[in-house]
Amino acid sequence: MIRSILFVMLALVVGASVAQNKGNYPSLWGRTDPVLQKQLENIMETLGYNTAIKNKKLAVALVDIADLKNPRVAAVNGNTMMYAASVPKLAILLGAFVEIREDNMTLDSKTRQSLTDMIRFSSNQDATRMLNFVGKDRLLEILQSSEFGLYDLKGAGGLWVGKEYGKSPAYQRDPLHNFSHGATAMQVARFYYLLESGQVVGEELSGEMKAMLGDPGINHKFVAGLQGYKDVKIYRKSGSWKRWHGDSALIEAGDTKYIVVGLAENVNGGKWLSRMIKPIHELMITKK
């Protein structure tokens, strides 16, 4: 009885903290910065990616969060939903921590290791295991909830997991675009912004989530592109399957902090992402 009362009190405190944070931070929608937008477009043009952008084979979102309460947003095809391979494992991470917050799951050593391996090493076995622990319908409910709004049925869609990470068939493709594992660059960017601004599961659990996103275990795409830079911290989730490639990251370097997401449909998409992160990072660390 006492334990139940203590849990309810804790849940109320965490819920109040998250609700307060939501009131303290703006939505990323409508935060496009004209200067940053032009700079991002210039980078894409210089790299020769305009045709891919025109054909909706490349989507990029960039969010400057050096001032977390005054985010600056730029994007190309930011609301174009694409097949995103393992990037939507972020959604499973979110679902697991929401259930941990609600005391429907326990963050024991085995669960912590599974979630970490799912993110850092993109373990399909652990992703499927965690998906089934959360519950397939429950995860889709969380993604579409008013609390997070990471999949918008009345808009462009967003983060979606409608298939286990394995050979089993899709159980529920997204209703707007028919993807089994889909994402828009902007909704992935929102995931990182909600996490970093404490709008997800409270400070302690958010720290656990961010730790799992740190120390990337796969050296490609954004991680490979930033190898020459010192004192860079990368919190990321990437994904690849056949011609689809994606990467997403919260990047910190001194006073610089930004979110970048890239989704590509091309056999060379991974190389595109590795190339683009260098000029994007240079822009962000030298911005006026």
Q: In a structure prediction context, what are the per-residue pLDDT tens digits for the chain, which is 288 residues long?
A: 443 333 333 333 344 444 445 668 999 999 999 999 999 999 999 999 999 999 999 999 999 999 999 999 999 999 999 999 999 999 999 999 999 999 999 999 999 999 999 999 999 999 999 999 999 999 999 999 999 999 999 999 999 999 999 999 999 999 999 999 999 999 999 999 999 999 999 889 999 999 999 999 999 999 999 998 989 999 999 999 999 999 999 999 999 999 999 999 999 999 999 999 999 999 999 975
Q: Is 25 helix (H, G, I), strand (E, B) or coil?
A: coil
Cβ contacts of residue 164 below 8 Å, gap of 6+?
Answer: 127, 128, 131, 132, 171
List the helix and strand counts (H, then E) for the chain: 11, 10
pLDDT for the residue 1: 42
Domain of 69, CATH number, reads 3.40.710.10
In 3-state terms, the chain is what percent helix, strand and coil (to 5)?
45, 20, 35
The neighbouring-strand residues paired with 82 are 183
Domain limits for position 39: 2-286
pTM above 0.85, yes or no: yes
Residue 48's region, left for phi above 0, alpha for psi from -120 to 50, else beta, is left
- Tokens representing 230 are 């010192």
Alpha-carbon distance 283 to 77, whole Å? 20
- What was the pLDDT predicted at 23? 66
Distance CA 51, CA 213 (A): 32
User: Which residues make beta-bridge pairs with 261?
Assistant: 61, 248
How many angstroms separate the CA atoms of 26 and 12, rounded?
A: 23
Six-digit token string for 75 = 């994007």
Structural domain tally of the chain?
1
